[in-house]
Chains A and B, each alone.
Chain A
């Protein structure tokens, strides 16, 4: 019996199963947490379709696409990092976790740049919201504002999850460097991976819903 097994578990396998199931249940709650916003999106997109299309035109599709690719790549690096632990390849684990952190940070940086552009263009919902001169006159600016409210709500919540994710990956990276994880025990790595992939899955849906309606 490994020293990593807590007093109330019989063995490492039971502990691993418990941790993984716990994470999956947590992810189910996360689906519904984001789900409230997705419901709002479905609701108002149905009501204000042209305004949503208009709003989507104001987003930067190139940056959105790059960011999607960055996230998909980071999912690949973290899954390989776990594989590194499974095969007792500590160097690979550390390098790949570091790569994941870099990719996550790149994503957040690009997102931050997009936000700052939106600020300059007065696309942030609130008193100073404005669509500028170029918009289609048939749409009501207030409804485009609703699109941006949901855009900032959804991507903001996603970004908060990304920030937490980068932090958690950084912690497990340090622990991996200290040699905590072996093929016998890598539960924290596995559940960190689950979280990271989940955040990726959310983005996979956010990207077409926000950037690709036209």
Chain B
């Protein structure tokens, strides 16, 4: 067996760190206001998980492939959550012609309205449709670029459509 024997002191140190972090996360959860708490709590949880994985699960001394396997699951979970949220956070938006006068016509792009509008998750706020400065302007810019590229083709369509009529 090629396993290294880790001193008890190391394990005890890790346990102590984990318990301190537990106290810290509960304290932070009680003190901080809504919203910020979840970021802090998840950061602390991540630190705790990394400690357990590195020391208790011996990844620190593990072979590269074991490290890869340890990371892969979490990476793939990030893909699943990340890309699903890309949809959810940019989905809301009123239908096209129902936008009150004065707001950008491009706001119509997310044609579907979910039953309850999404609340922003702080870290991903830049994707939120409510954030005019980001997602809508992103889509608006995209639309403009593409529109410029196809003006001639659009005109051709219209012409053809009239001719058919």
Interface residues of B in 26-47 (CB under 8 A from A): 26, 29-30, 34, 37-38, 41-42, 44-45
B38 to chain A, nearest CB (A): 6
Contact B89 A46 (CB under 8 A): yes
Contact B81 A47 (CB under 8 A): no
Docked Cα-Cα span, A13 to B2, in Å, equals: 7
Contact B19 A38 (CB under 8 A): no
**Chain B contact residues: over half helix, strand or loop, or mixed?**
helix
Docked Cα-Cα span, A83 to B49, in Å, equals: 21
**Chain A contact residues: over half helix, strand or loop, or mixed?**
helix
Q: How many residues belonging to B are interface residues under a CB distance threshold of 8 Å?
A: 54
| B151 beta carbon closer than 8 Å to chain A | no
Interface residues of A in 22-72 (CB under 8 A from B): 24-25, 27-32, 35-36, 38-39, 42-43, 45-49, 53, 61, 65, 68-69, 72
Beta-carbon nearest neighbor of A51 in chain B: B116
| B53 beta carbon closer than 8 Å to chain A | yes
| A213 beta carbon closer than 8 Å to chain B | yes
Chain A residues closer than 8 Å to B57, beta-carbon distance: 193-194, 197-198
Q: How many residues belonging to A are interface residues under a CB distance threshold of 8 Å?
A: 60
From the candidates B19, B30, B37, B85, name the one contacting A43 in the complex (CB within 8 A). Answer: B85
Q: Mark contacts of B2-29 with chain A using CB atoms, 8 A cut-off: 1 yes-contact digit, 0 otherwise.
A: 1101101001101100110010011001
